Chains A and B, each alone.
Chain A
Amino acid sequence: MIKSRLALCLLLVVLPAFEIVGQNAKEIALVIKVTGGAQIKSGADAWQPLVNGRRLNSGDIVKTEEGAFVAIAFTDDRSILKIRSKSQFQLEGERGELGIKKRLLMTIGQVWAKINPKGAGYRMVTPSGVAAVRGTEFYTIVDADAKMTVIGVTGAVSVFNKVDSVLVTPGKTGTVERGKAPLLTDTVDFVPWADDDETADSIDIEFQDANGVKKKLRLKYQK
């Protein structure tokens, strides 16, 4: 009797939730850049090559190959994700009245996220912990042992698991391993890479020196 009530309750709660996700989970993000090999699996479809302009629905799985780079923009507030090679993640989101509530389920790889503070929120879920943000810029690395490393760039990131939580701020690194309390340390020896792709905010100026040799000057500017 209790089991059947439980099942009914579950059905009543979960079914509408599925319905909402189905209706509001289309085109939550867009692939704005692909370099190298990357693939997507959408629903029951087979893996397909990921191309520029591809619309991403909630539940789509993306993996990047060696040397690949993928940039994704969320369609509600232009929050950006940049994913490096040899990464795999599943994108989830629900389009609500205040925007898309975003979630990235990452099993392995490296991602840079710049989340619009005016958006409806973003969570990054890994096997060892969760990073929750409202608006900030940070890097996340998930290694083969599911160890999650969060490096703060701007704003603050709440990194937590069942054991404890830490707040990662600029210059700090949060590390989480399965079943262990998150650790907070100073960031050392980390080279930011998000600006090194073609979408970086820079301009190249070519000029010739007195000997007619062409040289290139790269100016980076800050917004």
Chain B
Amino acid sequence: MAHKKNACIATLLFASLSLFAQESGIPSPPFLILTPEQDQILPPGEVLIAISVADVIDPASIVLYLNEREVTSSAVVSEYVLTFAAKNLARGAHRIVIAGKNRQGDQLPPLRGMFFIRSDEAPARPRPQFTGRVYAEGRYENICRQNESFAMTGAEFNGRYGELDVRGRVFLTSLEDGDAQPRHRFSLDIEHDLFRVQAGDIYPRYNDLIIWGKRVRGIGAGVNAGPFTLEAVFGQTQRPVEGAVDATTSLLRRGAYGQDLIGIRPSLNFRPVRFGVTLVKIRDDLDSIANGTSPSDNVVVGPDVLLSIDRGRIELRAQAAVSLLTHDTSVGAFSKDDIKDMFSAAVEVPIDPQKYEKILIVNDTTVPLNLKELTSVATAVNLKLHYYRNLLRLGYKMIGSDYFSLANSWLRKDIRGFYLSDRVRLLQNKLYLDFSMERYRDNFSRQGVKPAIDLNSATCAIAYYPGKGLPNVSMSFRSYNRNNGVTEIQLDSLTYGAIDTTDVREDSRQRDIHFQIGYQAPFFNASHYFVLGIIAAIKDDPYDASRLVGYYSQEMTSNVNMLSWSSTYPFPLRTTLSFSTNKNVLGGGASDFTYQSLSAFGEYKFWQNKLSTFGEIRLTQSNNTTWTEAIDVRRNLARLGAQIVLRAQQSVMLETCFITFSATGVASISAYTDTILRMRYEKLF
């Protein structure tokens, strides 16, 4: 009888559990748009946007955009789902973008979706359909007993009028100062399938060796005619700011010349090949200010090619550019005879540069002096292969020592080399293997007294995200070597004629190790996520023992340990407790720096998440001991704030922050308290 009961219960349990015991399936993607469906056509009225969020995502990192406008603050984000009720959407196309980071802090690729609102009425004429936001923010900041307060306000809109996409932006700040470069920003962008017009502050991206994101205040335009596209930009990259002189006309502050830019890029797009040529000219306006130094003139030209085949799985990009730069145009353009005089008539000049001074002012400050040496050439080639769960990247770049593009002035010069990287996804995207290596030579032209430096690095990393219930683990190792080939202490001529010894020997090798483990553990009816991270770095200097006096050892060790505990409760409370330590020993013991930080953060939401309140306390202590002094610094931070979402898509945020700072061992620093008060209002349309 007992056996029968056992069998019966076992059968019942099996039957019950077997309902959940089917095989196969796929792991959830990070984001999944539940509604609307892709390209779904919906009637006018409120639209529910719902996105499923996998538990690998950090909910606090999620951002939702509707038509390029961030609406995250108006969305309801819960453990597995994000919902947003979009109201008053205009007829036509609407775009959703959702992005976020995983719990390891890695940015995940955004998910995009599109849907349409249909009209219940036949439109007699195009009606504007705009979304946008206005905001105003005031900050009272008392930092190091200095008042750094400022205010800003702005508006953005994005919409469609008939076949035109229209975007606009205004940003105004109290920090705007006529004696500095502009801080206000404004722009209007009108786009059609056949053309595009931009005005205000625009950021053209034509060729990343020549112009890539530089702010130009002016006008930009583009025309599409079948496979042919022509883009152009005209404006000012720098406004004139007069320099300051004293009574003896000595320059107290160097002024900035007004700097004008003209850029043009014709391109042909015959899929799968796109070919373009970019020409950019930048010149400082010599007459724009009276007190400035070294007005420049720059011309850069170069082609770019993109080959994209097999739906983008193979992508080859190649770019090249050559530049001419005159460092100082104040002496004017040289004639053919001036140049012959400069070179003692030893060179044959085929043209008279003075005739072409509208294109470029050529004089003795123009580089390169000799185009044949190719020192003002830059090239870059990048190949991407996306096959068999591998993302393989291979690239080569060479930037000449005399290559200058004032429209991309932060480009590192005088460097050449290549990189190779591969990322492999295995076990249904749970296991990631990364490998990369770089070999570059800095200062490869060996101009001046600096020797060339070989920069070699190799990195390998592994990350395993097995899914719920098991810990996520990531590890990486990086080796980085700098070698300038100088093995002896050198004698060097000083500017005043004396001879001195210099120690520029460098053959350092740095190794970084990173380890992180994260574990999600639900208990006490709440979701908890623990992260332990360790970073260790060590740098060896083989010349440490024989360094000259006054030349510090390049040896270094650094250790960082981090522990954090984030909790999300069934009621709207989120907390994070974290602790970190850091110890750095530099210069072979010349400096010893330790740092500890303990912080607690909490966020609680009221009234169906309409009111969000948060607070943070962070205690920091550091100690820096050198041969000559020991400095102890304590920094304690308290932050409190709230954000309330009001009717009609309005929100107000208030945040206060107090930081007490005290130091011992430094005569110039005593104790003070920083105060930051921030208030922000925002309304979405």
Contact = CB atoms under 8 A, between A and B. Distances in A.
A53 B85 contact: yes
A75 B52 contact: yes
A26 interface: yes
B52 A78 contact: yes
B89 to A, nearest CB: 15
B26 A98 contact: yes
A178 interface: no
Nearest to A219: B41
B572 interface: no
Contacts of B6: 6
Contacts of A37: none
Interface residues of B, number: 45
B495 interface: no
Contacts of A211: none
A17 B13 CA distance: 10
A207 B123 CA distance: 10
Given A27-B79, A32-B35, A206-B122, A52 B85 contact: yes
Contact of A203 (B19, B41, B121): B41
A180 interface: no
Interface in A39-83: 52-53, 55, 73, 75-78
Contacts of B42: 198-199
B24 interface: yes
B80 A26 contact: yes
Given A101-B20, A199-B40, A207-B122, A73 B34 contact: yes
Dominant SS among interface residues on chain A: mixed
Interface stretch (A116-124, A140-148, A169-177, A188-196): A116-124
A2 B22 CA distance: 32
B17 interface: yes
A214 B122 contact: yes
B474 interface: no
A38 to B, nearest CB: 15
Given A13-B13, A53-B85, A198-B42, A98 B19 contact: no
Contacts of B40: 199, 201
A103 interface: yes
Interface in A72-121: 73, 75-78, 94-99, 101, 103, 118-121
Contacts of A134: 22, 24
Contacts of A181: none
Contact of A98 (B13, B27, B78, B81): B27
B78 A55 contact: yes
Contacts of A76: 28, 32, 52
B615 to A, nearest CB: 27
A2 B3 CA distance: 9
A120 to B, nearest CB: 4
Interface string B437-480: 00000000000000000000000000000011100000000000
B28 A99 contact: yes
Contacts of B85: 52-53
B431 to A, nearest CB: 15
Contacts of A199: 37, 40, 42
Contacts of B34: 30, 32, 73, 75, 78
Given A6-B9, A27-B80, A103 B41 contact: no
Contacts of B13: 13-14
B83 interface: yes
A50 B311 CA distance: 44
Given A75-B52, A75-B81, A96-B20, A208 B122 contact: yes
A3 B42 CA distance: 60
Contacts of A198: 42-43
A97 B5 contact: no
B79 A94 contact: no
A97 B37 CA distance: 25
- Central interface residue in B80, B467, B469, by most chain A CB within 10 Å: B80
B20 A94 contact: yes
B50 A53 contact: yes
Contacts of A207: 122
Interface string A1-36: 010001001100110010000011011001011000
Contacts of A94: 20
A202 interface: yes
B41 A2 contact: no
A2 B120 CA distance: 71
A2 B2 contact: yes
A101 B17 CA distance: 11
Interface string A136-166: 0000000000000000000000000000000
B514 interface: no
Given A30-B52, A198-B42, 20 more contacts: A6-B5, A6-B9, A17-B17, A52-B46, A53-B50, A55-B78, A75-B52, A75-B81, A76-B52, A78-B32, A78-B52, A96-B20, A97-B27, A98-B25, A98-B26, A118-B25, A201-B41, A203-B41, A204-B120, A214-B122
16 contacts: A2-B2, A6-B5, A27-B78, A32-B35, A32-B48, A33-B35, A52-B46, A75-B34, A78-B32, A78-B34, A96-B25, A98-B24, A125-B19, A201-B40, A201-B41, A206-B122
